Structure 1
Amino acid sequence: MGRDTAVQEFLARLTLGRSNGGLEQFHLIQSGRSLQVFPYAERLEKRTTRQLRGSLLHVWLFDGRCAVPDRANHLAYALVRDGVDPLTSLWGAVPAEGEMTL
């Protein structure tokens, strides 16, 4: 099985129910530690890229709510580095009073 086929099968199994061979969970392993992930498939956004030369294939899975703010409910998610004040770094993302945003 090629790299593209393996990744496409993994992504497809995330959307299938358990009775159809789908995945309910998977594990991310980093530095010998395992993190169990229970994705909510309806919210998942997927991005894949591959190198022009070589065998690397990149897959990004993320909650779609992290990509676009929910303006109606005044809710947004942000990734903030350790040691950075989130209020300072995010304040510029808040529109001024009366300012229109699309």
Structure 2
Amino acid sequence: MKLYLIREQADVFVDAAVADDHGQLLFVSLFGRDTAIQQFMSRLHLRGKEGGVDRLRFSNPETFDVELEVLVGDPNRLDKVTGRLPKENLFGNLVHAWIFDSSVVEVDKAGRSGWYVQTDLEASRLGHGDAIWRLVTALSPVPLLDHWREPVISMLGQAGVRVTRSVGDVCATRVALPDDFEAQISNLVVDGTLTESPESRFRTRSLFA
């Protein structure tokens, strides 16, 4: 496991961090002594003149180059979960903390957007197509058939399905449905791209081949 440094906070180390599509902190996984972790969390809620931080820079421990920079944004949107590593570990009494935007754990149905976060290992073994499609169907205001997956995701394009910047063994994808999503689905049904069954779509292709 590779641990990154935080330029703005000593004695706190990061194994994974993700920016959202606006460059703000979406998720970070931290390790450190209890005092250092608590100090860091407090500084997220303070103004700059009070010792607070409004941005975070995660640096490579070998080169000290900044590999990811994020804005803190409104700290009230951030949730946190903490736990302690077993005292028998090599590094002593350490706290493991996760700080994340609440949008990571629940979709915004009103705004028709949501996030899917996974480790790089999960992505390489399982891919993320199934998870992205589940997110699309959860956000959709109209029912979608499973065999529509490929044309619907293609329709959304990069604007609708976007992978954001990260460091460490994690990646995040944002899915956002456009305001005219229902109309676009309707158009695909009318032109025969979306059909009641995969077989009928194949027959339609054969007729016009």
Q: Equivalents in 2 of 1:3, 1:31: separation in Å?
A: 18
Match of 1:77 among 115, 121, 143: 115
Structure with the larger strand share? 2
Aligned residue runs from structure 1 range 17-32, under 5 A: 17-30=47-60, 32=62
1:38 maps onto 2:80 in alignment = no
Provide the residue aligned with 1:61 in structure 2: 99
1:39–1:91 CA distance, 2 compared to 1 (3 A): same
Helix, strand or coil: the match of 2:99?
A: strand
Larger radius of gyration: 2
**1:91 matched to 2:124:** no
CA RMSD of aligned residues (A): 2.6
* Matched length: 95
Query: d(CA) in 1 for partners of 2:35 and 2:61?
Result: 27
Change (3 A) 1:37 1:85: closer
The share of aligned pairs that are identical, in percent, is 29
User: What is the CA–CA distance in structure 1 between the aligned matches of 2:83 and 2:58, rounded to whole Å?
Assistant: 19
Deviations along 1:7-37, one digit per CA (max 9) or x if unpaired, are: 1111010011112211112222346342222
| TM-score (structure 2 length as normaliser) | 0.39
Task: Considering Cα pairs closer than 8 Å and 6+ residues apart, tell me whether 1 or 2 has the greater RCO.
Answer: 2
- Specify which structure has the higher proportion of helix: 2
Counterpart position of 1:10: 40
Alignment partner of 2:83: what SS? strand
